[in-house]
Amino acid sequence: MTYDYLRQVADSWGIIYIGAVFLLVIAYTFRPSGRERANDAAFIPLNENLANNQEKTKKLSDIKH
C-alpha cells in the first residue's frame, strides 16, 4: 500500500461515504414522523425568550403596584 493508493481510495470511497451520510441526515430530518419534533426544536429559543419576557413583565408589574 502506497500513499497514492490510499489517497485514491480516500478520494473515491470517502466522497461516497460523506454523500451517503449527508443523504441519511437529510432523510432523517425530513421524515414525516419527525416534523413535530423538529418544530418543537425550532421554537426552543423563542419559548425561552417568551418565558424570560413574561418573568420580566411580571416583576415590573409587581414593582409598579
- Run means of pLDDT, 10 residues per run, the chain, 65 residues: 88 91 92 82 73 60 60
Instruction: Note whether 40 and 25 are same-domain residues.
Output: no
Q: What is the domain count for the chain?
A: 2
Contact (CB, 8 A) for 12 and 6 = no
Report the pLDDT value the prediction gives residue 54, as an integer from 0 to 100.
60
Instruction: Note whether 42 and 61 are same-domain residues.
Output: yes
Report the pLDDT value the prediction gives residue 42, as an integer from 0 to 100.
80
What is the domain extent for residue 21? Answer: 1-30
Q: Which long-range contacts (CB under 8 A, 24 or more apart) does 55-59 make?
A: none
Instruction: Note whether 42 and 60 are same-domain residues.
Output: yes
CA-CA distance, 20 to 14, in Å (whole number)?
10
Instruction: Note whether 3 and 26 are same-domain residues.
Output: yes
Instruction: Note whether 25 and 38 are same-domain residues.
Output: no
Instruction: Note whether 26 and 4 are same-domain residues.
Output: yes
pTM over 0.85: no
CA 44 to chain centre: 12
Instruction: Note whether 22 and 44 are same-domain residues.
Output: no
